[in-house]
Chains A and B, each alone.
With several copies, the nearest count.
Chain A
């Protein structure tokens, strides 16, 4: 479905005063079963369609559905939409919707002073307070004075509103999220039209449900318009985004689409070997739906089979891809060594989450950088790239495949739970303008050709990718050290040293395939902020905030972690201080210090949560002081 930004068709035109804002942050919070992810997703989609820039952050528990009403069961979804270019889901929430006491307890700290707090007052009964482990009704607390508290008997209003649809009480109650969404739509001046259409599409086979959801949404909107609790509503005008066709996309979707695109560009079909793990599983789910693109997905018995099957597929000439998260990546490291020894192209996607061990399975962290850089036996370098955000996932995976096939090497692409599940508008690329990925396989030799050397090297130091089935090129590859040229097993000391060197130099050659590092802001001066991975947005936003305060600070974002861009050392030398914010204990900082012998100011947070712009602004101001 394609839309154009045009005149809106609101439910009714609101009659109360309208305040125009530059951006808004809305957070829905409720029980895992309350449909908060859906409500958030719809608000994000509607805002994007309206022309805002958006950024989202789903925040859900590791349990499937912890007991209703408990703190463990709270699920949240935050949407940031703005009239300008934004890069983060927002530090502080302007409107918090709390569907029960547990949700309030878990989320109140995000609400800014004087922010709007909408609660379902039907849920603030003794039972639910107890489940949330609070003694007194928090709505009665003094602390509430700091907020614009709106008590709505959401459950009962919803039930009443949907009565005519004829659905049972259970389903009627489940429509609460649409009531809340309708209310938020009114408050933010969002047009419910596309959501109503979506409901019809989605529940086409259950007209009673569709009806109930529609009624709930409308009732919520009307409630905003009618109740005296709201004095005004808000508007965030469209942003000034570059022209083009847009859609919303999460990081994992973008990885899947990027893989399919890379497959097309290189005329290689995908073999995706993977074992389910949060937050990487959605890539499997997405790819499994695209068999028309000759994608073969293989849910292996474990992570080791996932990567080794992909290596087998790569040997056979396919685009071998595997993905996992921390604990699963740990299981793949032995086989990554095999891929390095066999010198086959392979993509390994690492969607980081909180560690160590099973850790915080649904929370983002950047603490697997050192694992993918160094977590293998022997001298086993490989290129490492990291996506800066959801849309970058698309580009980076194409770039990774380009490098993998050019150099005949496995390549790691890093993402994290925040990027994977977060969404932002993606300008749909013109694929005709993406250069193809050329791959050549050696052909059957003629009688007078020299003998085939599977470990001979081209100008990139890559070896030939000879495919089984080609007459005259039969050869054996293996995990023991191999003789340069012939590829036969070799224990010769000189040969080993030579091969270690060749493999390292080959990977280092990737530097010629990547762009020089660019800097946003002054090209020399007091302070450089250096980010990698999912902290891109928040760092850029912080630098912009600082800029507005009249201080010029530079920002550079690393997408290539190994090899590092050729000019990075020079860039670092141009600033008095370098600040590296990371969602770990300083992993990139260590690499930079070792490589460039420059001091680094590390800003480390290991909280299973993205940085706040505010934290960064504070750190920058401190560094400038």
Chain B
């Protein structure tokens, strides 16, 4: 293998991720594999957006790795002509952590589902986020186990009747973004499978973030949980049911952007904007707030009581795990030079027999 870039202390020789001479196109990112999702599945639109966005990120296909667990969503890596690992159920964040730690110059994405990430894999997600490993985690939330044919998931709503809950689920759901924020995630965002432009923007932002980026994507499973996010997808309702948050902007929503969100003590409430002056009361989004409180409040707005927030809820800078690990290695090397095996063998007392 020939090397073109300096390798510092990385695990193996590798190329730089600097912008390539010839910019790759969307087709460079398409693999030759037959796509095996059900026709109409929301996963298709996410894949399409991804293929559109990737060429714009400035990282060559061979410097990207998509890591996934098990589930319909986790088949994603097969359909991209990058490097990829289709792992085992729930463990993608851990696989990605090891990979990114030894190959910090690669861009590593994690594709996961609500079951994969929050049921069996909840712990790895939590720890990847708190460590702030530089990986981009996309959680396709369809509120159901798709691949195993329709059992309820940790995000299924109470009372959901599924194959494993014929009388309705009794488990209170988890909120993916609350978990992410409770786990100290430095980047937290939400989008919707079919809101292509919005989703594209969020994917770009996630790619650009230094550290763990966590994105929840509402995804329709038209076979086992069709319409779960109808309110957020339907042209006629989505503007009333969603609010697009943007840093530094007041929170406005509604088809005519005639409603807003205001802070009342520690509660959020919606208000109608009758004339323009009123919008001054509105809450202005601050994705860089050092504490995750505002993000938490936004994340927890739930349809139908409130519009649900999409966009980047939180984006703060904090130390990145893989960088710190490699810095410790580099620092020792700089300070003491490369390790000397002969000296290592002789640490402590030695004696010679002649």
Contacts and interface: CB of A to CB of B under 8 A. Distances in A.
Contacts of B99: 312-313, 315-316, 468
B264 interface: no
Interface string B52-69: 000000001111111100
A243 interface: yes
Contacts of B328: 291
A48 B353 CA distance: 11
Interface in A168-197: 194
A257 B354 CA distance: 24
B102 to A, nearest CB: 4
A320 interface: yes
Interface string B71-105: 01000011001111111111100111111111101
A472 B122 contact: no
Nearest to A476: B84
Interface stretch (A7-15, A296-304, A565-573): A296-304
Contacts, number: 332
A17 interface: no
Interface string A244-274: 1111100000000100110010001101010
B164 A70 contact: no
A316 B12 contact: yes
A572 to B, nearest CB: 37
A477 B338 CA distance: 34
A288 B346 contact: no
A545 interface: no
A68 B325 CA distance: 40
Interface in A542-593: none
B33 interface: yes
B70 A296 contact: no
A468 B95 contact: no
A313 B33 CA distance: 26
Contacts of A49: 349, 351
B85 A478 contact: yes
A360 to B, nearest CB: 14
- How extensive is the interface on chain B, given as a class? 35 or more
A51 interface: yes
Given A48-B351, A271-B102, A334-B88, A64 B62 contact: no
Nearest to A305: B94
- How extensive is the interface on chain A, given as a class? 35 or more
B103 A479 contact: no
B86 A476 contact: yes
Contact of A63 (B2, B36, B353): B36
Contacts of B251: none
A309 B352 contact: no
A64 B70 CA distance: 13
Interface in B140-154: 145-149, 151-152, 154
Given A246-B352, A297-B164, A488 B95 contact: no
A288 B166 contact: yes
Contacts of A320: 98
Interface string A464-503: 0001111111111111100000001100000000000000
Given A66-B34, A67-B39, A477-B86, A245 B352 contact: yes
A247 B345 contact: yes
B88 A338 contact: yes
A311 interface: yes
Given A305-B127, A471-B62, A318 B12 contact: yes
Interface of A: 1-5, 45, 48-49, 51, 63-68, 70, 72-73, 194, 238, 241-248, 257, 260-261, 264, 268-269, 271, 273, 275-278, 281, 284-285, 288-305, 308-320, 327, 334-335, 337-338, 342, 357-358, 428-429, 431, 440-444, 467-480, 488-489
11 contacts: A1-B349, A246-B350, A289-B166, A293-B341, A297-B164, A299-B165, A300-B127, A308-B95, A318-B102, A479-B70, A489-B33
